Amino acid sequence: MTSIWKWKSVSYPNKQGLKLAGLLYSGPTGGTLVVVCHGFTGSKEGGGRAVVLAEEMGKRGYATLLFDFSGCGESEGAFADITLTGHIECLASSVDYGLACGFQRVITLGRSFGGTTVLCHAALDKRIAGVCTWAAPAELSKLFNAFREKENAKLIPLTDLSGTVMVSERFFTDLEQHDPAHSAAMIAPRPLLVMHGQSDAVVPVANALLISSSAGTPKELRIIPQADHQFTRHYREAWQITLAWLAEHFPL
């Protein structure tokens, strides 16, 4: 199967007309597509791991679309302009693109803030067949205000373990418009996998418990012992959990 599968660089516009950069790994025909959303300061390749995971999913017959949110990676736009609403719109455009390519079933997978994005998007878009989150924040204002530094006139610094980035005040006001736990409740009866590291020092594991407790069935909560926010030493375990979930709920 994988001998006829290949990577293709793609691009398509978001709602604002900004070009989103993507990487599509697929075979010669349609089928099931997994759209992957990177984390807050990440990019579509995920340091190379997202690429390898896509190839692992390809071995099992699942196509993958990796893409950069507007203002991130190779996509157009400024990082300081990002909002969760904008991320949700970029994901919707990515789903539109996948369906236009002929894929019949779309599953979304999000890492960290990308996990928040897939929850909020799926609550609004019934075309999504299933949702998987890795280390997704649910208590948004509480989390991001903890990283907020002294404000200046136009941009606000956010500092975490990975460094400092600048965002606008609109980023914070927009967060208040979204409730990931409530969104999780709207996903059922579509399958939901919530995965988190027990030792996550960036997004506390309580966020996963909140998402899972709010969700209907079918749902699966997997807490990986000793895993950090990036699943640094446990990413292959996270992969296996994800692949098993796909095989159980979305057989080909």
User: In the predicted model, what is the mean pLDDT of residues 113-136?
Assistant: 98
Q: What is the mean pLDDT of the chain?
A: 94
Q: Which two tokens stand for residue 83?
A: 């909002």
Given a cut of 70, whether residue 215 has pLDDT beyond it is yes
In this prediction, residue 238 carries a pLDDT of 98
Whether the upstream peptide bond of residue 225 has omega within 30° of 0, thus cis, is no
Point out the least confidently predicted range of 43-52, 152-161, 168-177.
152-161
Q: Is the pLDDT of residue 29 over 50?
A: yes
Q: Is 239 exposed, middle or buried (0-12, 13-18, 19+ CB in 10 A)?
A: middle
The pLDDT of residue 152 is above 60: no
Tell me what pLDDT residue 157 has: 78
All structural domains of the chain with their residue ranges: 2-139+178-247
CATH 3.40.50.1820 fits 2-139+178-247, yes or no: yes
Burial (CB < 10 A; 0-12, 13-18, 19+), residue 183, is buried
Report the pLDDT value the prediction gives residue 150, as an integer from 0 to 100. 64
Enumerate residues 6+ apart whose C-beta is below 8 A from 31: 61, 62, 63, 103, 104, 105, 252
The one-letter code for the residue type at 94 is: S
Tokens representing 169? 């005040």
Specify the pLDDT at position 159: 72
In this predicted model, what pLDDT tens digit does every residue of 195-213 receive, in sequence order? 999 999 999 999 999 999 9
Residue 162 is predicted with a pLDDT of 61
